[in-house]
Amino acid sequence: MRIDDHWLVGARQVPSPNQDARPASEVSAVVLHSISLPPGVFGGDAIERLFTNRLDPAGHPFFAAIAGLRVSAHLLIRRDGECVQFVPFQARAWHAGRSRWRDGARQRRALNDFTVGIELEGDEVTPYRAAQYQALARTLRALMVAYPAITPSRITSHAHIAPLRKSDPGAAFDWAYLRRCLVKESWEN
């Protein structure tokens, strides 16, 4: 995989209106999330509808509570490994919310300003699929080439940056397996 003009080559593009210009900060970290809509249900177009402000509140009882949200991520990795990009990487997606992160010696807030948000279709208890880890590793490698400030130590989770309100991608996410996929990906490229 590679990035061309801030888009992941091969990803299906579904532009989201929920984005804006980044401030003058460099893209330097990645935040991993999980999402399923409705909760625990995989497949369908509800995630894409949420990120494009087209979620039907009458489509499911859960949707009524979230249909008015204005959120997005740069990328969604579906259960089969398909990548769907909503926001170009140089723009600010609205994924992190209230968050903070210790960046070296300083505490940083407003993580949307400098991070790439990647959603994995899943929940916090269902194991993620090998196709997702492989697509994620290829994507992370492409991001590290395109944005050299991103390194393996600058890949974090929503749980880590908002621990009192978020726990995704959850205990089902296998960080050790992701590291092995990243090593394999670096050897193959």
Label the pairing between strands 7-8 and 3-4: antiparallel
Q: How confident is the model at residue 189 (pLDDT cuts 50, 70, 90)?
A: low
Residue 48 appears among annotated catalytic residues: no
- The whole-number pLDDT of residue 185 equals 73
Q: How confident is the model at residue 187 (pLDDT cuts 50, 70, 90)?
A: low
**Whole-prediction pTM:** 0.96
Confidence of residue 40 (pLDDT cuts 50, 70, 90): very high
Domains of the chain, CATH where assigned: 3-188 (3.40.80.10)
Q: What's the pLDDT at 184?
A: 83
Does the pLDDT of residue 46 top 80, yes or no?
A: yes
Q: DSSP letters along the chain, please?
A: --EETTEETTSEE---SSEEE--S----EEEEEEE-SSTT--SSSHHHHHHTT---TTSSTTHHHHTT-----SEEE-TTS-EEE-S-TTEEES---S-EEEETTEEEE-GGGTEEEEEEES-SSSPPPHHHHHHHHHHHHHHHHHSTT--GGGEEEHHHHSTTT--TT-TT--HHHHHHHHHHHHHH-
For residue 5, pLDDT beyond 80: yes
Residue 66: how many CB atoms within 10 A of its CB? 15
The span from the CA of 99 to the CA of 120, in Å, is 19
153-174 pLDDT, tens digit each: 999 999 999 888 888 999 999 9
Q: Residue 91 is encoded by which pair of tokens?
A: 């723009």
Mean pLDDT value across residues 11-37: 95
Strand 100-103 and strand 29-35: pairing? unpaired
pLDDT in tens, 65-120: 999 999 999 999 999 999 999 999 999 999 999 899 988 778 888 999 999 999 99
The residue annotated as part of the active site, out of 119, 121, 124, 185, is: 119
Cα 92 from Cα 21, distance rounded (Å):
6
Lookup result for tokens 């039907």: 56
- Over 80: is that where the pLDDT of 25 sits? no
Split at pLDDT 50, 70, 90, the class of 126 is very high
Q: What is the pLDDT, as a whole number, of residue 164?
A: 83
| Residue 103 confidence (pLDDT) | 82
The whole-number pLDDT of residue 104 equals 77
Contact 11, 84 (CB under 8 A): yes
Q: What is the pLDDT of residue 182?
A: 93
Query: Residue 73 has which token pair?
Result: 């991520």
